[in-house]
Amino acid sequence: MNIEWDADKYTKDFSFVHQYGNGVAELIDCEKGSSLIDLGCGNGVLTKALQEKGFRVTGMDSSRELLETARRNYPDISFIQADAADFSVEETVDAVFSNAVFHWIDREKQTDMLACVYKALKRKGQFVFEFGGHGNNALIHSALGEVFSEHGYEYKIPFYFPTIGEYAVLVEQAGFQVRYAVLFDRFTELKGSDGLKEWIHMFVKTPFATVDEMEEEEIICQAVERLRSVLYRECRWYADYVRIRMKAVKG
């Protein structure tokens, strides 16, 4: 999926994405000096955190806008523009890490992505990742679906949110041994008094491709009002995240 990112807004208002990523990084069990790829590194904040843990890390992302921010903020790190489902490396690495990226990759391309990761790793190399799992943002997408339908449009969730069983099978079919796998709820606080509206604007883009700007605003406001009773608590907005977290090893 090709998205044009507002890198500054993403960095300022959605910092929880990389803050939570620090927990995923703790699953990497490699010595200092090990080589690592941060796949879908975005603005590079987590890439920097991985470097500070002592790894020799390269950031990889398909977004020019996010990579510009990453390179500007962390000039001592190497960042490469590449598609996660179509990349190769000159030298294999000890680990591939990825946070909050794989739900952006269509189901049909997941196998290609897993094959690229497998090829990029040394034998016994570690593959550590987290992304949106089955049921992720179900309340948000269900409200959007209802409002789209009332406006005469069809709503299709523009993300891949697999069950843990489905994804573990794909990872194994790519040749990995799954060592750790968990699916968990993570009710996540959003920033600001318009947190949910901003979240929808930032992340839910393709369903609005054929909707004009005024109607888009109307749909979002109606969906947000519908969600107030479940996602607004003590003057704060939340998103109903569900995560898949895994660690796999190249056999």
Residues forming the site for ligand BEZ (CB under 6 A) = 100, 103, 132, 136, 159, 203, 241
Nearer to ligand BEZ, 58 or 136 (CB): 136
Nearer to ligand BEZ, 93 or 190 (CB): 190
Nearer to ligand BEZ, 24 or 96 (CB): 24
By the 8 A CB rule, do 98 and 40 touch?
yes
Q: How far is the CB of 203 from ligand BEZ (least distance, A)?
A: 4
Q: How far is the CB of 240 from ligand BEZ (least distance, A)?
A: 10
Report the alpha-carbon distance of residue 210 to residue 222 in Å, rounded. Answer: 18
State the Cα torsion 38-3-86-92 to the nearest 10°.
-10
Q: Which amino acid is at 206?
A: T
Nearer to ligand BEZ, 79 or 159 (CB): 159
Q: How far is the CB of 212 from ligand BEZ (least distance, A)?
A: 23
Q: How far is the CB of 38 from ligand BEZ (least distance, A)?
A: 15
Report the alpha-carbon distance of residue 216 to residue 129 in Å, rounded. Answer: 33
Please report, for residues 96, 155, 174, the alpha-carbon distance to residue 112 in angstroms, rounded to integers and kept in the order given. Answer: 15, 27, 9
By the 8 A CB rule, do 101 and 93 touch?
no
Query: By beta-carbon distance, which residue lies closest to ligand BEZ?
Result: 132
